[in-house]
Structure 1
Amino acid sequence: MSPDNTVQVTSLPNLAQILPYLLGHYPDDSITLHAPGPNFIDGPTMTCPLPDDSAEWKTTAKTAARRFAAYANDQGHNPDQGVIIYLTCEPRSEQTPWDTAALLAPVADWLTTELMEHRGVVLQTIGLVSNRWWAYECSTEGCCEGEPLPSPDDPTSITAQMARLGRTPGPRTRDILAEFRPTTADLEFLKDLHGATSRFKGRCATSAGRDAMLSTTCAQIGAAINQFRSGATALNRALTTQLIVGLRDDVAVDAGMIHADEDLPHARRLWAYLARHCADPFTHEAVPILTLFAFTTWRQGDLIATRLALRDAITIDPDYELAVGIHLATIDGEDPREHLAAARESQARRTAHLQHAVQIASEYLPATDSNAERYRQALDSATLGYVPESFTAHQRIIDRYSTVDIIRGALADLRSGRPQISDEVAARIILGLQDRATRDAALSSGEESDLPYERQLWGNLARRCVPPYIDQAPPLLTLLGWVAWRQGDATTAAHAFTDALDIDPVYRLAEIMLDGLHADLDPAPILATAREAAARFAASRADLDNL
């Protein structure tokens, strides 16, 4: 503070009352360590929450003292110049303020001992409980124990001095935390969130699925911001659950960081709203959301809310790099606009890539529209009547030819302008192609004029591999990728092969073809091999017919 704004801290009551002005908020249930500077408020300060379990207080106190000594030295302030300790705690049920103050007394001793081991000198230890103060360094019995904080009417009180300077003490920690911490769990909502999590995992089984979900999440973020901008205070349950699980994607988190300054209040309410819905056992889902809340409040200049949200995020996941990075940036006094510019640049690049990837994958990505349930039911029914594990060797051979005949019929329909494939026929082909010999027989080996129809068929069938039948998609994706490669569409081919391997990492044909594509090999030798295999398959059918 300048000389005109000097605050006089001339008594223990003043020392007790200045804490919320020192921090900008009142730290509920915390240890605060402060090394006073020339105007007292100057100098390094650190706050550490006291765990709910008092058995952990000793470890917490020792750790806090060590960290503060190191931090003070880093700030160019030797702790041997003096440290003030503040201990704040509210009484639990059936406790009086004096009971709580007595519980805090050992914490004062642990902090003092640990600071002394790091050459720290404790000037005073103040306990604050229920608007009363204790001075633990005072050795006079009955003195400095449970005195009320000075009245604002006292012109020498810190409250009065700060009021003359136009300053307020700021909110309590518990009021700030209430903005973004879950309270009572809504069991029905948590059930819906569990379902959304399962669907998210299913749809993200492939790269194309992840890209599609990411595109959806980015659009939903914008829609939610618009709703809050229009005055909404809540979102419908479906959108809430989808956003919570969608923000698991780091790219979606980047998209949540880049809103314009005028939208920061709306973004803050959105992230707080979502974080409040991440009750146990979904607290881990809160980490990216708390980080977005922290970045938003940092941009708003609300460092207290920023640090409290980051503390929660890092406590849940100490390895979440974005939260740790923002935390360190706030400590170092960096400008959030630099991080915002980097996020916007990164998001612009990713958006262009994402739009291209989603456009490619739309050809074969499992359906999520009203048709999805119909496709699933068709596969359910087909699976009941199609049990290849029970086939004899002869039945298996017959089934291969039968599947290939059905495929040829479907292609003939496409050539003749009948693009619709019945659900029953589609399901039968999908199941039949799980046999690798059948898949090899279906591998495109015909003329180039047939390629558009083959591509249309494999894309149609791949879109029908909806959860829980996503694991049936690799042969369809591999067949599609091969057709695309023959057509010179290396991009789609690479996406299709990659998605097949995402589903089944040891799907050998997709792996071989993807390696060949990456090596820029000519597909002609593979085509020649496929044609030879098709000829052998056709010839062996004549032998079968003569049995």
Structure 2
Amino acid sequence: MNANRHETSGPSRTQQITLRGPAELADALPFMLGFHPTDSVVLVALHGERGRFGGRVRLGIPSSPREWASTADHLAECLVEGGARAGARPDGIVVFLCQDPAPGETGRRVMERLRPFAQRLRTACGALDIPVYEALCISDGLYFSYCCPDARCCPPDGTPLALSGTTVMAATAAYAGVRVRGSLRDMEARLKPAGGPGEEEQRTALDAAAASIVPRLLEDPEGRERTEVRERTLDLARGILRRFANPDTPKIPKLRKDPKDPKVPAVPAVPTGVTGMTGVTIPGRPVTDTAEGATTDAADDALITSDEAAALVLGLQDRVTRDRAAEWMEGWEGTAALRLWRVLARRCVTPYQEYAAAPLALVGWTAWSTGDEPTARVALGLALDADPEYVFAQLLHQACNEGLDPESLRSCLRSERDSRTTSEQPSPASSRRVRTRASHRRGTLPTLGRAGRQTGARDRRAAAGVRPGGPATDRPGGGSPQHGGQRGTRSGR
């Protein structure tokens, strides 16, 4: 079986790596996905007589065996139909089942427990006239073959996986600049609340921000309060991006209070007329890309207070604000924004998990835009776990999985920002009234709106990009109601 790696130089633009046997297949899996899958079922398409790798699908292994049959049918159909749409129906499939043993369980026991699932996957692929050439179970540092009956190469007690970095696949991947980002579990942990003593403080800050910000988004018929919240949210985000780009500066810069509502957290002062981050020079640091992970997540968390995080999380529930925040997508802006969105996703503590859909979708978009597709897929999957109907995440997840080029969306966002910046610049011959109207134009992603006619109060909410939620509910595990009854109020998608 061959894994093609496209080179940009050399006499041949395509080099082939031949994988011989189950051991090298198991070793290649993390390099195909960009991470070590945990608790996952992965199907990889093969094409041609030599078994060239093609598309792949991954899903968490259902905990209930009752779901295995429907999951197997769904995965097989997705892989085959996806290949057919791309003009290359698979000629074969390789199946991987990856799961760590439970306490007191062995790798072989995991393999035997998942054997019916592996058989159901083979049957589902066979029903589509596509053979499964190999089905492997990877558990506890061992691999087991469901297809090879030869105990000499695939003993029933399993075969140890190759040491990391010692195989031809690892060497070739390193030469090509392909890196494995750890396990899927580790990647997801960076995007979820970790708990700890600061969780209650963050929950209190979210309650206060919801009581202050949500009414201004929903109950403002003229839209002035809504516009102020949007601008304050973006100003705060800009200030924190600068803080991330130059962490040596003071943590809390000069603040500008809101005279109308002292409850709303103060935001860093931003020079008048700054509408975007392009061209902004950070004192003492060149405007260049920085390597992801230059600072730890703990250091990033320390750069943002609970009140600031709460104001940003609530502000990003507004669709227009979120779409404008998506414009920080490349260069040093993209690097700093990716760190910021990760922090905000980790601050969505119980019972605000659903609010993580917005920052998680921004993590996915920024990672995809900056070339980190594995992180993008993981983040967008978590965004849809938080809110399965979040359209922004749905569109990005589909585009990323179909291998589309993010440059088309980047171009759209650049055009929106340039158009907005041009419209906001005052003209000497224009009247003050015209300048005021122009200064409030805001661009949005045109493909993210919902179809349908709305009237009355719903028109006002639609203009704000905010979707009202249900009545106030008690906090899980607590005996007191939410502040202001704002829990559950969400933005438009």
Q: Same fold (TM over 0.5)?
A: yes
CA distance in 2: counterparts of 1:264 and 1:162, whole angstroms: 25
Q: Structure 1 residue 36: deviation in Å?
A: 2.1
Q: Identical aligned pairs, as a percentage?
A: 24
- The corresponding residue for 1:189 is 202
Is 1:125 aligned to residue 131 of structure 2?
A: no
Structure 1, 312-321 or 162-171: larger mean CA deviation: 162-171
Question: Secondary structure of 1:18's match?
Answer: helix
CA distance in 2: counterparts of 1:169 and 1:99, whole angstroms: 28
Q: Structure 1 residue 302: deviation in Å?
A: 0.3
Q: 1:251 aligns with which of 300, 305, 320?
A: 320
Q: Structure 1 residue 11: deviation in Å?
A: 1.6
Give structure 1 stretches of 5+ with no counterpart.
Answer: 361-497, 504-547
- The corresponding residue for 1:285 is 355
- The corresponding residue for 1:224 is 240
CA distance in 2: counterparts of 1:182 and 1:277, whole angstroms: 6
Q: 2:404 aligns with which of 321, 334, 342?
A: 334
Is 1:309 aligned to residue 379 of structure 2?
A: yes
Structure 1, 248-257 or 111-120: larger mean CA deviation: 111-120
CA contact (8 A) 1:100 1:129 kept: yes
How many residues align? The count is 363
From the two aligned structures, give the one with the greater helix fraction: 1
Would the alpha carbon gap of residues 184 and 58 (structure 1) be closer, same or farther in structure 2, given more than 3 Å must change? farther
Is 1:242 aligned to residue 311 of structure 2?
A: yes
CA distance in 1: counterparts of 2:186 and 2:39, whole angstroms: 13
The one-character-per-residue Cα deviations of 1:494-520 (angstroms, maximum 9, x if unpaired) are xxxx99x969xxxxxxxxxxxxxxxxx
CA distance in 1: counterparts of 2:140 and 2:234, whole angstroms: 46
Matches within 5 A, 1:37-52: 37=47, 40=51, 42-52=53-63
Q: Structure 1 residue 323: deviation in Å?
A: 1.6
CA contact (8 A) 2:214 2:314 kept: no
1:149 maps to amino acid: L
CA contact (8 A) 1:105 1:136 kept: yes
2:380 maps to amino acid: L
Q: 1:59 aligns with which of 70, 81, 84?
A: 70
Question: Secondary structure of 2:18's match?
Answer: coil
Q: Structure 1 residue 201: deviation in Å?
A: 1.9
Would the alpha carbon gap of residues 192 and 358 (structure 1) be closer, same or farther in structure 2, given more than 3 Å must change? farther
- The corresponding residue for 2:30 is 20
Would the alpha carbon gap of residues 220 and 95 (structure 1) be closer, same or farther in structure 2, given more than 3 Å must change? same
Question: Secondary structure of 1:7's match?
Answer: strand
The one-character-per-residue Cα deviations of 1:100-158 (angstroms, maximum 9, x if unpaired) are 22222121012112112222211110111122101011345783542101346976x64
Question: Secondary structure of 2:320's match?
Answer: helix
Q: Structure 1 residue 336: deviation in Å?
A: 2.2
Matches within 5 A, 1:203-218: 203-204=216-217, 205-206=219-220, 207-218=223-234
Matches within 5 A, 1:511-530: none
Is 1:94 aligned to residue 135 of structure 2?
A: no
CA distance in 2: counterparts of 1:118 and 1:85, whole angstroms: 15
Q: Which has the higher contact order (CA 8 A, sep 6+)?
A: 2
CA distance in 1: counterparts of 2:425 and 2:100, whole angstroms: 51
Matches within 5 A, 1:413-428: none
Structure 1, 222-231 or 157-166: larger mean CA deviation: 157-166
- The corresponding residue for 2:212 is 199
Would the alpha carbon gap of residues 240 and 154 (structure 1) be closer, same or farther in structure 2, given more than 3 Å must change? closer
The one-character-per-residue Cα deviations of 1:200-247 (angstroms, maximum 9, x if unpaired) are 222221022212211211111111211111227230111110000000
From the two aligned structures, give the one with the greater strand fraction: 2
Q: 2:160 aligns with which of 127, 131, 148?
A: 148
Would the alpha carbon gap of residues 84 and 285 (structure 1) be closer, same or farther in structure 2, given more than 3 Å must change? same
TM-score, L = length of structure 1 = 0.60
The one-character-per-residue Cα deviations of 1:40-98 (angstroms, maximum 9, x if unpaired) are 5531111122245565444333321221221122233333x211001111112222222
Please report the RMSD computed on the Cα atoms of aligned residues, expressed in angstroms: 3.2
Would the alpha carbon gap of residues 327 and 354 (structure 1) be closer, same or farther in structure 2, given more than 3 Å must change? farther
Would the alpha carbon gap of residues 30 and 41 (structure 1) be closer, same or farther in structure 2, given more than 3 Å must change? farther
2:231 maps to amino acid: S
- The corresponding residue for 1:114 is 124
2:81 maps to amino acid: A
Q: 1:33 aligns with which of 30, 40, 43?
A: 43
Would the alpha carbon gap of residues 270 and 193 (structure 1) be closer, same or farther in structure 2, given more than 3 Å must change? same
Structure 1, 42-51 or 301-310: larger mean CA deviation: 42-51
Q: Structure 1 residue 277: deviation in Å?
A: 1.0
The one-character-per-residue Cα deviations of 1:359-412 (angstroms, maximum 9, x if unpaired) are 79xxxxxxxxxxxxxxxxxxxxxxxxxxxxxxxxxxxxxxxxxxxxxxxxxxxx
Question: Secondary structure of 1:68's match?
Answer: helix
2:73 maps to amino acid: K
Question: Secondary structure of 1:43's match?
Answer: strand
CA distance in 2: counterparts of 1:154 and 1:235, whole angstroms: 41
Structure 1, 113-122 or 142-151: larger mean CA deviation: 142-151
